[in-house]
């Protein structure tokens, strides 16, 4: 007999060799129908996996991350099988589940078209109706190479695996693929499928390799879930920051600078509002602002570890016969700022903020508006502290980030990321740093997920994932605890004992990058920014030329108070002017005609609420100033 601990903490005993699915059926037939996989001691497994030793078991439905990935991974195999049936000469590359669905890469002499996607989708429905069981089996290296001899990409993958690696395959009807799994029990478990788009992708992400054709798709257990997803996708297209950035004349990416954004005057107003808010809030919390150079000597990047661990993403330049790099991160410059002076423990913590411009080389295919660029401004801060100040400082940053996100109406969830495979520092340092971050989260009673192996190369981190108005998540804020760079840069402070001690350091951002945060805000608000952020807060519309003098007077009074106002005196019908201002997403329109001039009033129209009616000009001024002051949404 074996003991199995379930998610609720209860323990059940079963005969050795019981499958995950059999355990699910024993608990509930409904759970067995909903389950798509099982998490055994933290690893996701097929439902048909036999359990042979004592373990913990979490039964996964589609609503879980592991469940979704199992579901979408199986759907990628169904798509590959459909492609091979329709186009037998196609060569298979890889087909993983991703955050929103799945894809498969194919090497085909034929260029796929939207009509081909429809045919592939139809063939997938046939395979789903066939309800083919997915059977896992393993082979020796020699047997695996023979089985895949007509699939060159699979052969390459097999040869690149370690000699002692288990080579597993999944077979469904007439289709077999090299795969570690896990998968659904059968193709019939997939219900609603949609192939979304075609794209090009280099084999293994290298421009030196052959360009493959990638097909993206999505699937759900219910058609209603698919319909809801497609609705949100259409809504996302309407909110696309690239489209809105051009329409509202905020920002753009031009051919002359791929990955290097241009900000227009209205975009600069939005950007400056965010930066001003950042500065005000940081000053309240004892941060000092610094500015470090964009280009620094190679020796600095060797010392920091970036040259070894991040070289492929850095731009370099020769100056006076020496090698320099354009900074991809602000932290090494922050080290030099701290190192300039001798510090006492009484000076700590020191909180230094920087709105620093960084450059990172991104492949052209990865660029996406302001979301993925080659130069951006990080709202960095580096906090230097004694070891006993760690928890309080991390809690202070958590509170700061929470305050920021609440202003914009964002909900968020938190992940704690641990040591990655490529990293610097000792095991002891990493253990201390990770424990300190966990301690701060626990002290705040925050729920968080542990993201194994996804930390920065110099330390563990807490990541904040925002949820926008249509349910998408974006990773923005991060808190990274670093005991490595202070060691590499030989940073020190004088302790109470008069001896030198090594400070601990926090790297952290709130916005993440100003550019990306503006993109997220643009899509979150669909370009209809809150009054305090709007590039134009009020548009005054005159009905006739005789109303111009009073309109100018109203404009001047608002401008004196710092309100951003535009005046539309064109000889156009008032309805046309209102529609244009509405399209420009201006929060308030003030319409001025005979009655308004006579009564020293303004007819107020709100972007959100429509006609509000006549107000005294002074009353409207008080209303909008209060909204700006409180940063009302």
Tell me which of 73, 507, 508, 524 is the catalytic residue.
507
Is 160 a residue of the active site? no
pLDDT value of residue 240: 93
**Residues in contact with 507: Cβ distance below 8 Å, sequence separation at least 6, in sequence order:** 331, 380, 381, 382, 456, 459, 478, 479, 480, 482
CA–CA separation, 415 and 15 (whole Å): 37
CA–CA separation, 243 and 152 (whole Å): 41
CA distances to 103, 108, 110, 154, 504 from 86, in Å: 17, 12, 12, 20, 60
Helix (H), strand (E) at residue 280: helix 265-284
pLDDT value of residue 140: 94
Among 605, 602, 612, which Cα is nearest to 558's?
Answer: 602
CA–CA separation, 633 and 628 (whole Å): 9
Show contacts of 411-414: CB within 8 Å, 24+ apart: 411/466, 411/467, 412/464, 412/465, 412/466, 412/467, 412/477, 413/447, 413/448, 413/449, 413/464, 413/465, 413/467, 413/473, 414/441, 414/446, 414/447, 414/448, 414/449, 414/462, 414/463, 414/464, 414/465
**DSSP state at residue 132:** P
Is 320 a residue of the active site? no
Tell me which of 331, 389, 508, 621 is the catalytic residue.
331
Is 55 a residue of the active site? no
CA–CA separation, 95 and 84 (whole Å): 13
Is 465 a residue of the active site? no
CB neighbours of residue 180 within 10 Å: 13
CB neighbours of residue 428 within 10 Å: 9
Residues 15/67, Cβ–Cβ less than 8 Å:
no
pLDDT value of residue 433: 86
Helix axes 265-284, 390-408, angle to 10 degrees: 140
Residues 182/70, Cβ–Cβ less than 8 Å:
yes
DSSP 502-554: PPEEEEEESSS-HHHHHHHHHHHTTT---TTT-SS-EEEEESSGGGHHHHHHH
CA-only gyration radius of the chain, Å: 29
Is 360 a residue of the active site? yes
Is 559 a residue of the active site? no
Helix (H), strand (E) at residue 402: helix 390-408
Residue positions counted in the chain? 633
**Buried (b) or exposed (e) across 395-406, using 16+ Cβ within 10 A?**
bbbbebbeebbe
Q: Any idea of the CA torsion for 58, 63, 67, 72, to the nearest 10 degrees?
A: 180
Angle at 261 between CA 256 and CA 265, to 5 degrees: 110
Among 75, 86, 40, 85, which Cα is nearest to 60's?
Answer: 40
Tell me which of 46, 116, 380, 463 is the catalytic residue.
380
Tell me which of 239, 360, 516, 605 is the catalytic residue.
360
Show contacts of 603-606: CB within 8 Å, 24+ apart: 605/578
DSSP 155-186: HHHHHHS-TT--EEEEEETTEEEE------SB
Tell me which of 154, 461, 516, 524 is the catalytic residue.
461
Tell me which of 194, 306, 343, 382 is the catalytic residue.
382
Distance of CA 87 to the CA centre of its chain: 36
* Structural domains in the chain plus CATH codes: 2-60 (3.10.20.30), 66-228 (3.30.980.10), 246-293+327-524 (3.30.930.10), 538-629 (3.40.50.800)
Q: Mean pLDDT, consecutive 10-residue segments, the chain of 633 residues? A: 91 94 93 94 94 95 95 98 97 94 96 96 97 96 95 95 92 96 96 95 91 97 94 90 96 94 97 97 97 96 89 92 94 95 96 97 90 95 94 94 95 93 83 90 93 86 91 90 88 96 94 96 95 98 95 96 96 94 96 95 95 94 96 91
Among 45, 94, 90, 93, which Cα is nearest to 67's?
Answer: 45
**DSSP state at residue 472:** -
Among 280, 272, 281, 354, which Cα is nearest to 518's?
Answer: 272
Is 476 a residue of the active site? no
Residues 76/70, Cβ–Cβ less than 8 Å:
no
- List alpha helices for 87-222, DSSP H: 114-130, 141-147, 152-160
Tell me which of 273, 350, 378, 389 is the catalytic residue.
378
């Amino acid at each position: 007999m074996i003991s199995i601990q379930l998610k609720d903490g209860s323990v059940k005993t079963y005969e050795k060799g019981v499958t995950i699915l059999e355990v699910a059926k024993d608990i509930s037939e409904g759970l067995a129908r909903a389950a798509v996989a099982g998490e055994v001691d933290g690893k996701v497994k097929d439902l048909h996996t036999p359990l042979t030793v004592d373990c913990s078991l979490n039964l996964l439905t589609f609503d879980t991350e592991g469940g979704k990935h199992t579901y979408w991974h199986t759907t990628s195999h169904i798509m590959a099988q459909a492609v091979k049936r329709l186009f037998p000469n196609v060569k298979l590359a890889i087909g993983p589940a991703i955050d929103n669905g799945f894809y498969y890469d194919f090497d085909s002499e034929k260029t796929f078209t939207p009509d081909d996607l429809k045919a592939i989708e139809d063939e997938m429905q046939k395979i789903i109706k066939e309800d083919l069981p997915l059977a896992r089996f393993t082979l020796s290296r020699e047997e695996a190479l023979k089985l895949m001899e007509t699939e060159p990409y699979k052969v390459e993958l097999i040869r690149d695996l370690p000699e002692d690696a288990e080579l597993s395959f999944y077979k469904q009807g007439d289709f077999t693929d090299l795969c570690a799994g896990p998968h659904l029990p059968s193709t019939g478990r997939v219900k609603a499928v949609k192939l979304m788009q075609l794209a090009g992708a280099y084999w293994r992400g290298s421009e030196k390799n052959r360009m493959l054709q990638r097909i993206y798709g999505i699937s759900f257990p219910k058609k209603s879930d698919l319909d809801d997803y497609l609705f949100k996708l259409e809504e996302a297209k309407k909110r696309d920051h690239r489209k809105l950035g051009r329409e509202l004349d905020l920002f753009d990416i031009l051919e002359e600078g791929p990955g290097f954004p241009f900000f227009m005057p209205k975009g600069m107003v939005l950007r400056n509002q965010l930066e001003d808010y950042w500065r005000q809030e940081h000053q309240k919390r004892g941060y000092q602002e610094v500015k470090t150079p964009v280009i620094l000597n190679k020796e600095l990047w060797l010392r920091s570890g970036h040259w070894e661990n991040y070289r492929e993403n850095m731009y370099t330049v020769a100056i006076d016969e020496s090698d320099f790099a354009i900074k991809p991160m602000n932290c090494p410059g922050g080290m030099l700022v701290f190192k300039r002076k001798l510090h006492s423990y009484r000076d700590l913590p020191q909180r230094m903020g920087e709105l620093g411009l960084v450059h990172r080389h991104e492949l052209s295919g990865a660029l996406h508006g302001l979301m993925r660029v080659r130069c951006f401004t990080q709202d960095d801060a580096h906090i230097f502290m004694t070891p006993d100040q760690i928890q309080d400082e991390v809690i202070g940053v958590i509170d700061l980030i929470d305050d920021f996100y609440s202003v914009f109406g964002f909900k968020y969830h938190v992940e704690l990321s641990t040591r990655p495979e490529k990293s610097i520092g000792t095991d002891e340092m990493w253990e201390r740093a990770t424990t300190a971050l966990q301690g701060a989260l626990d002290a705040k009673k925050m729920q968080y997920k542990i993201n194994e192996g996804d930390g920065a190369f110099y330390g563990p981190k807490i990541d904040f994932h925002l949820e926008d108005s249509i349910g998408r998540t974006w990773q923005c804020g991060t808190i990274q605890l670093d005991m490595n760079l202070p060691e590499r840069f030989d940073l020190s402070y004088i302790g109470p004992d008069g001896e030198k001690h090594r400070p601990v350091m926090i790297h952290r951002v709130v916005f993440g990058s100003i550019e990306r945060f503006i993109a997220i805000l643009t899509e979150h608000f669909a370009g209809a920014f809150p009054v305090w952020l709007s590039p134009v807060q009020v548009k005054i519309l005159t009905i006739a030329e005789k109303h111009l003098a009073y309109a100018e007077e109203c404009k001047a009074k608002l401008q004196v108070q710092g309100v951003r106002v535009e005046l539309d005196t064109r000889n156009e019908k008032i309805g046309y002017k209102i529609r244009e201002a509405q399209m420009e997403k201006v929060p308030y329109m003030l319409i001025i005609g005979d009655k308004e001039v006579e009564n020293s009033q303004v007819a107020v129209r709100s972007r959100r609420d429509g006609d509000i009616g006549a107000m005294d000009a002074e009353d409207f001024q008080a209303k909008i100033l209060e909204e700006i002051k409180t940063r009302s949404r």
